Structure 1
Amino acid sequence: MSGSEHVVLSISGMTCTGCETKLSRTLATLPAISKLKTSLVLSRAEFDLDHSITSADNVMKHLERTTEFKCERVTIEGSSVDLLCSGNPADIVKGDWPDGVTDIKMVDKKNVRIDFDAKVVGARDLLEKGWPSPMTLAPPHADSTLDAGAKHVRHVGWMTLLSIVLTIPVLVLAWAPLPDKHRKEITHGSISLAFATVIQVAVAGPFYPKALKALIFSRVIEMDLLIVLSTSAAYIFSVVAFGYLVTDKPLSTGEFFETSTLLVTLIMIGRYIAAMARQKAVESISIRSLQTSTATIINKDESEKEIDARLLQYGDKFKVSPESRVPTDGTVIAGSSEINESMLTGESHPVEKVKGSTVIAGSINGSGVLTVRLTRIPGDNTICTIANMVDEAKLSKPRIQAIADKVASYFVPVVVAITVMVFCIWIAVGVAIRKQSGSEATIQAITYAITVLIVSCPCAIGLAVPMVIVISTGVAAERGVIFKSAEAVETAYKTSHVVFDKTGTLTRGILTVVREEYINPSANTKSLLLGLIRGSKHPVSVAVAEHLKRSGVNATSISNAKNLVGNGVEGTFAGRSLRAGNSRWLNTSAEPLVISVLSQGHTAFCFTINGELSAVFGLTDSVRSDTISTITELQHSGISVHVLSGDDKGAVHEVAAQLHISTSNVRAKCSPADKQAYIKDILAQRDPTKHGGKEPVVMFIGDGTNDAVALAQATIGVHMNEGTDVAKSAADVVLMRPSISGVLTIIAVSRKSIHRIWFNFGWSAVYNLVATLLAAGAVVHARIPPEYAGLGELVSVLPVVAAGVLLKWAKL
């Protein structure tokens, strides 16, 4: 097999930043892998794989062998369905595949996963096909991007419970009164040794291969190595001490199996709570959870049937009952209602839906009943598109992450070095100052070294950035703002200039013809114009075409009609050249009629035949309801606001005047290249009296194809989307509803995210400094006992998780 494919893996067993480093290093060594992205919080890895070198199965086997992680492949693109076989699934895999099926593979001993082209064959058709053995739809499973995390949490939970059950008897025996001291000590010690050994092998055992393989294969010294060193030291020391006790030569400290067992148990409790908190945080902002599980389809005989939503296919009609969730994207073909789309677009008011309206998967119907024609199947609808873009942002890493990664890479080696120093210092203190014997001083030094090893925790540093990015992008998505990269979250709060396109952004983009002038009025002129512009999607052309249709004009078929971005439309008819568009492109700006239209502040739309002006239209637009308040707030924040438009000067300056935007920041008659050049000029400026003399951060907000170049040129490109196909935008951020107040949400989310990231860094530094000093015995009469050092991970990580989760309730 040749070529390449995009592979997504769910990784089970990742617990700290060292795990992610190990994962990325292991995969990066494989020459077949490129464009690698990993995430600790999502427990995921994504990469492009060259099939001519190796297969995805081989990559997974290599990863599991060298890291001890468990891998599962996730399908996030295309269509697939899981079917339950009554016979042998292998017969299905080896048999003849129906048209449209691209792959069939066994999931387990009873299930097969069928990947298919939904445009050729539907999920319901596949279920009803005559397979060698009867097939039924497999039970639904959790969101594949969350499933691995949930499995990991359950596994850690069971191991934690086992550790607790075995530790309690050890603690009871250690703290119980001993009337016949020597005999009871040996009996209790024997029982404690047995329980401690089970804990060390069954619960702490998996840490050993992970730590060793990380050191050997990935050259990473990670948190697991600290756990291995500290718990092993405590356990081995207790075994040795018990041996001395049995030979009637007890050590002064005695054995302390309660230390090693309680240490492992507290570490497991900390990891379980931290893993559960991370999982709940990710689940709480999962966009895919909005997908409903059932749908009511309408058959050809108009009968209704409730089916699993996974079986919807192209050509289906479905009913949306009152107060129910829309199962997938579609177009209303009958009925009317109001739909709440706030969970996807952030729009607080219900949106009226009538025949011809589009409905979005996951939105909630009001009191009406709608009949809808499916346009996108559940596996490839708006929910999936948004969720994939949000996941893309979660997987991307902002520049500030490099700081955390750098610190984390040095953390464990530094802790090991500090541990050695603490061990040596306490031996010296015991022998030279406390006049202890060498063995007594060594025993005392070991307890301090163990505590330092385990109380230090790099997990808070590793989670400081990704935890906030995961929550903030999810919170923004719930408010109708889709961040497509983590860098946009990191940068937006520093915005110094906001540049708006006018039509469709500052204004509603719904233009109205208020004036029309014809040089030689005739039905033929109107028919030619309508035929030329009827296929154009530009707001001005659409408005003029609708105006002509309402006037009863019939379109003439035009040859070779084509759109010229930023200019207009051109074509030919009976040997004559037809053009319609702005006056600059058509060189009609000096015509008296055009001057008259422009002087009234209207947008001028001209039509020429063989270069001669034939018609002029004057159009007006109205600003959006939230435009003035948004612009005012931006200006009060010290952000410079600009307007660029391809529209005529009068119309642009009229809108700018309404919004109190300085004329020096307004440019009319702009081509896409002009917009790009204007943004370049702003980026080249650096005023030492403003913004701390730093480079300007320019945010551009546009809605049309002609804004693509400017979106790419700006520091942050924001696309205002009014449809359901948000994937077409190449911008850094997508606004899911037609409201520029989303710009304020972008900046607010960015600012609060950065504040929490720096809080996390600060907390991590303070915790590790204080904890290390207390563990090392640097504070007189205050130290952390070695058996309680396992609480370190819990104490360090939970505030970091909480700082991210609290973003859900932050005022934006």
Structure 2
Amino acid sequence: MAACCGGTPHAGRDRCTLNTSSSPHGPYSQKSCCSKEEDIHAVSSSCDTNKSCLQDVCGIDSDHQEEYIGLDSKDIESATAITEHITLNVRGLTCAGCENKLFKSLDAIHGVHNVRTSLVMSQAEFDLDPGAESVDKIIQYIAKSTGFACHRVSTHGQSLDILVPGDARDFIKRKRPLGVESLLALNKQTVRITYNARFVGARDLLDCLFGRSITLAPPRLHPEVESGIKQVRRAAFMTALSTMLTIPVLILAWAPLPEHEILYGAISLTLATVVQIVVAGPFYPSAIKALLFTRVIEMDLLVVLSTSAAYIFSVIAFGYQVRGRPLSTRAFFETSTLLVTLIMLGRLVSAFARHKAVESISIRSLQIGTAILVDSDGRGGQKIDARMLQYGDTFKVIPDARIPTDGIVVSGESEVDESNVTGEVIPIEKSPGSNIIAGSVNGSGTLTVRLTRLPGENTISEIAAMVDAAKFSKPKIQELADRVASFLVPVIVVLSLIAFVIWIAVGKAIQHRSTGSAAVNAMTYSISVLIVSCPCAIGLAVPLVVVIAGGVAAKYGVVFKTAETIEIARKVSHVIFDKTGTLTKGELSVLAEDYFSESQSVAASIALGLTMNSKHPVSAALAAHLQARGVEPLLIENVKSVTGSGMEGTLNGVSVCGGNSRWLDVQGVPQVTSLLSQGLTVFCISLDGDLLSVYGLDDSLRPDAMSTVTELQRRDIAVSLVSGDDDGAVRKIGHQLGISPLQVRSRYSARDKQRYVKAIMDHKDGGKIVLFCGDGTNDAVALAQANIGLHMNSGTDVAQSAADAVLVRPALSGIIILIDLSQAAFRRIIFNFSWSFIYNTFAILLAAGAFVDVRIPPRYAGLGELFSVLPVILIALQLRWFKRG
């Protein structure tokens, strides 16, 4: 095998080793064209000198490589296996019963854990243990037990759809180059490549590894949107087919035509049979599989029972008529056909609404499809598909154009509108060194940008992933809805039987009908009861609102990661703020500095060496200040953060510490006391316990801090301020914002913050719903403790992972938006529940004949799904026009 992309053959083996030279297409380290399986075999048969292969190929770090030397490929793959997260697109989900059936089927499979399903997204996700059934086997089982068609969705790595010569199924059998994680045939000509963009770029992948005979496929919609379109199209086709077959039956039954009952009956029988087999046919296996495999009685069973009863009776009645012995009640094929048609119409409306809900709030629609590629100096200008961008690229953004992906401005100045992504309505000035985000719109200037994140992992993708995660989560009120929906179908079956028995008795005893006539009349009431009620409205009452609320919140720069957040945010009674980077900008400036060393330059160099790589606002501000003075850092080794206190390291074996005055126990030093009395944040540096230098820093409030705190207090929501900073600095901010001194806490460690949050939540006067807003690593435990942890996006990844919601732009007004949106969403959920309860109660009473002079005939009972679901859909969709106060 020849080496590719400049790789050099590995001695003794037919593979390419790491090439540290830069690729002409970007700064990639090109590796071999061998598959991962080949590399593992090579490792297992190699000596200790090839441990680097274990790191490169298998991802095994150096501390654990000894135990893998000598193992064959299967042993290594087994030993390094980890739980796999799987996401499936599911076709066929139409109601809460379907979702329940899917959940039970997946949950019953050995090795499958943490199952989550979404009716609105038509998706399921779960964790799969190593050694469990393959994903293909699981998909086959789901199809067998539920009738749903599934396919896997790739959720990691970059993906690229390509058109291949020949059969795609043959193409995916070839050996995968290193960096390519999977090959999936989407159809006969299209293959989806999932690859690790850190190993190989998109252009390198096509040009070098697969050859120029491969072309890029047209872009596809996101799986959840694509799945929704397919479901709507299928529902529309089946509804149209059923309508075309039903109309002639209705004409033959209701129009004033010449008497040809046998002929009309034969035509109606033929058309009704086609409707029953082709249109209603899929309901039968679905209902039967639900009963056999998951013991679930779902809406499809009601459709099967009602339409089958009407159809079978009509066939029997027509048979008697042909024999010349007509029954007292003639055949009513129009009932079964119209019933099926109206049910399909209701399903179509429901599917269309779910699709529009997902499509309208999809943040991914902000991703532009093209980029203008230039060289590192900004020269040239080749327009390429944005999917072909790779690390090391530089692209140009012309005036009024949407930005293709995240990057750093290299040259040019302009104003950028980020409102679509962050909710910030005021354009932001950008100049060299500024960060720009995908989906925002450039102003009148031209920008040259160095790419920092690819389209598949940029800000848009990150926000969309968090929004998707919330769609899978379910608030507690959804559990109530699921229980009601699961009980409703069996209750309806029982009620239909009761109605049947009662009306036979009424027909015999009061109406003096014959037994046959009374039974036929009772059956019409029973059929109406079966089909007029609709659990679908209850099933959609919560998830449709949650999905739309998630998209609306994201457009205002607020992303909630769990559905429970949107449920309880309306009840927030206490908001606790961190100070630095939350209420303040976190852009500190050094206002004063004192040195206690004979050599100030050495002391400054030690301070810079300790803080230069820190992301903490205080350390970063100090480092920037010293670098601006031209200070050269000394090499400080073993630097580590001490949460809530500061940093420590070693200089030539001597301990160096930097942090607050309490941690270093220097509060009594006059210079320190003076800075503290001025309300400044004090940062001290010590060497082997001796104070070297002291710095006084100040910060400014965020522009919307005052208005946000004032609005919260106006709503009778208590506000607290907790910080690890010194008392003077914290109380200064608290006073500026009008926060009661009793609600201000300074010098709080991470554990202190958590205890403070817990104490408020467990208050003896009644537990409160607490929202904690912070941004630093030392806020993570408090964010996790609070009912709602709200993370400022300018903070650390650790804090974000612990939070329940994220402010995409660091604007505190997002708290008000979250509370208001929660209230709006909850009102709609309550309306939906109320409407579902009222509708089902009166519809069942009408269908059962409780009102003597008014009833719902069986043929019109299918309108029930449409009338019950439509208000729920409209009320949920209205949330799209939510406006912040």
Is the shorter-chain TM-score for this pair beyond 0.5, marking a shared fold? yes
Q: Which amino acid aligns with 2:183?
A: I
Alpha-carbon separation, structure 2, partners of 1:112 and 1:460: 39
Asked if the contact 2:310/2:335 (under 8 Å) is kept, the reply is yes
Q: Shift of residue 299 of structure 1? A: 4.2
Q: Which residue of 1 aligns with 2:634?
A: 556
Q: Which amino acid aligns with 2:287?
A: A
Alpha-carbon separation, structure 2, partners of 1:50 and 1:668: 46
Counterpart among 124, 129, 140 of residue 50 in structure 1:
129
Deviation string 1:636-675 (CA, Å, 9 cap, x unpaired) is: 2221111001111111111111111111111111111111
Q: Which residue of 2 aligns with 1:264?
A: 340
Deviation string 1:327-377 (CA, Å, 9 cap, x unpaired) is: 111111111111111121111111111111111111111111111111111
| 1:669–1:723 distance in 2 versus 1, CA, 3 Å | closer
Q: Shift of residue 572 of structure 1? A: 3.3
Counterpart among 688, 702, 719 of residue 624 in structure 1:
702
Q: Shift of residue 710 of structure 1? A: 1.1
| 1:574–1:428 distance in 2 versus 1, CA, 3 Å | closer
Q: 3-state DSSP class of the match of 1:31? A: coil
Q: 3-state DSSP class of the match of 2:172? A: helix
Counterpart among 743, 749, 753 of residue 665 in structure 1:
743
Deviation string 1:42-70 (CA, Å, 9 cap, x unpaired) is: 10000111241210000001101111111
Asked if the contact 2:405/2:453 (under 8 Å) is kept, the reply is yes
Say whether residues 1:176 and 2:255 are aligned partners: yes
Q: Shift of residue 722 of structure 1? A: 2.4
Counterpart among 593, 606, 614 of residue 684 in structure 2:
606
Q: Which residue of 1 aligns with 2:625?
A: 547
Larger relative contact order (Cα-Cα within 8 Å, sequence gap ≥ 6): 1
Say whether residues 1:313 and 2:393 are aligned partners: no
| 1:174–1:442 distance in 2 versus 1, CA, 3 Å | same
Question: How many corresponding residue pairs?
Answer: 803
Q: Shift of residue 686 of structure 1? A: 2.7
Alpha-carbon separation, structure 2, partners of 1:196 and 1:529: 86
Q: 3-state DSSP class of the match of 1:129? A: helix
Q: Shift of residue 106 of structure 1? A: 2.3
Alpha-carbon separation, structure 2, partners of 1:221 and 1:36: 21
Deviation string 1:263-321 (CA, Å, 9 cap, x unpaired) is: 11111111101110111011110111111111111146932211111111111111111
Q: Which residue of 2 aligns with 1:655?
A: 733
Say whether residues 1:33 and 2:105 are aligned partners: no
Counterpart among 318, 339, 352 of residue 242 in structure 1:
318
Counterpart among 448, 451, 462 of residue 371 in structure 1:
448
Asked if the contact 1:360/1:724 (under 8 Å) is kept, the reply is no
Alpha-carbon separation, structure 1, partners of 2:623 and 2:199: 36
Q: Which residue of 1 aligns with 2:48?
A: none
Alignment of structure 1 residues 206-225 onto 2, 5 Å: 206-225=282-301
Q: 3-state DSSP class of the match of 2:650? A: strand
Q: Which amino acid aligns with 1:294?
A: T
Q: Which residue of 2 aligns with 1:805?
A: 877
Alpha-carbon separation, structure 2, partners of 1:407 and 1:193: 38
Asked if the contact 2:565/2:788 (under 8 Å) is kept, the reply is yes
Asked if the contact 2:314/2:331 (under 8 Å) is kept, the reply is yes
Asked if the contact 2:775/2:799 (under 8 Å) is kept, the reply is no
Q: 3-state DSSP class of the match of 2:802? A: coil
Deviation string 1:228-263 (CA, Å, 9 cap, x unpaired) is: 111111111111221222222223332211111111
**Which contiguous aligned blocks of 4+ residues in structure 1 show a shift greater than 6 angstroms?**
723-727
Larger mean Cα displacement after TM superposition, 478-487 or 105-114? 105-114
Q: Shift of residue 574 of structure 1? A: 4.7
Q: 3-state DSSP class of the match of 1:104? A: strand
Q: 3-state DSSP class of the match of 1:718? A: strand
Gap runs ≥5 in structure 1: 688-692
Q: Which residue of 2 aligns with 1:782?
A: 854
Asked if the contact 2:750/2:781 (under 8 Å) is kept, the reply is yes
Asked if the contact 2:780/2:799 (under 8 Å) is kept, the reply is no
Say whether residues 1:349 and 2:426 are aligned partners: yes
Q: Which residue of 2 aligns with 1:88?
A: 167
Q: Which amino acid aligns with 2:316?
A: V
| 1:50–1:172 distance in 2 versus 1, CA, 3 Å | same
Asked if the contact 2:412/2:432 (under 8 Å) is kept, the reply is yes
Say whether residues 1:444 and 2:521 are aligned partners: yes
Say whether residues 1:64 and 2:143 are aligned partners: yes
Alpha-carbon separation, structure 1, partners of 2:866 and 2:169: 46
Asked if the contact 1:500/1:643 (under 8 Å) is kept, the reply is yes
Counterpart among 260, 265, 283 of residue 189 in structure 1:
265
Q: Shift of residue 91 of structure 1? A: 4.2
Asked if the contact 1:726/1:734 (under 8 Å) is kept, the reply is no
Counterpart among 169, 174, 184 of residue 105 in structure 1:
184
Alpha-carbon separation, structure 2, partners of 1:275 and 1:795: 15
Q: 3-state DSSP class of the match of 1:729? A: helix
Q: Which amino acid aligns with 1:336?
A: E
Q: 3-state DSSP class of the match of 2:862? A: helix
Alpha-carbon separation, structure 2, partners of 1:562 and 1:69: 52
Alpha-carbon separation, structure 2, partners of 1:230 and 1:393: 37
Q: Which amino acid aligns with 1:730?
A: A
Deviation string 1:145-169 (CA, Å, 9 cap, x unpaired) is: 2212211111111010001111111
Q: Which amino acid aligns with 2:188?
A: K
Deviation string 1:708-727 (CA, Å, 9 cap, x unpaired) is: 11111111111101279799
Q: Shift of residue 678 of structure 1? A: 1.3
Larger mean Cα displacement after TM superposition, 241-250 or 752-761? 241-250
Say whether residues 1:297 and 2:394 are aligned partners: no
Q: Which residue of 2 aligns with 1:524?
A: 602
Q: Which residue of 1 aligns with 2:821?
A: 749
Q: 3-state DSSP class of the match of 1:738? A: coil
Q: 3-state DSSP class of the match of 1:618? A: strand
Q: Which amino acid aligns with 2:490?
A: P
Asked if the contact 1:42/1:145 (under 8 Å) is kept, the reply is yes
Alpha-carbon separation, structure 2, partners of 1:730 and 1:177: 71
Counterpart among 712, 718, 723 of residue 640 in structure 1:
718
Asked if the contact 1:295/1:307 (under 8 Å) is kept, the reply is yes
Alpha-carbon separation, structure 2, partners of 1:187 and 1:662: 87
Alpha-carbon separation, structure 2, partners of 1:371 and 1:127: 26
Alpha-carbon separation, structure 2, partners of 1:651 and 1:133: 63
Q: Shift of residue 398 of structure 1? A: 1.3
* C-alpha RMSD over aligned residues: 1.8
Q: Shift of residue 385 of structure 1? A: 1.3
| 1:406–1:90 distance in 2 versus 1, CA, 3 Å | closer
| 1:74–1:383 distance in 2 versus 1, CA, 3 Å | same
Larger mean Cα displacement after TM superposition, 554-563 or 109-118? 554-563
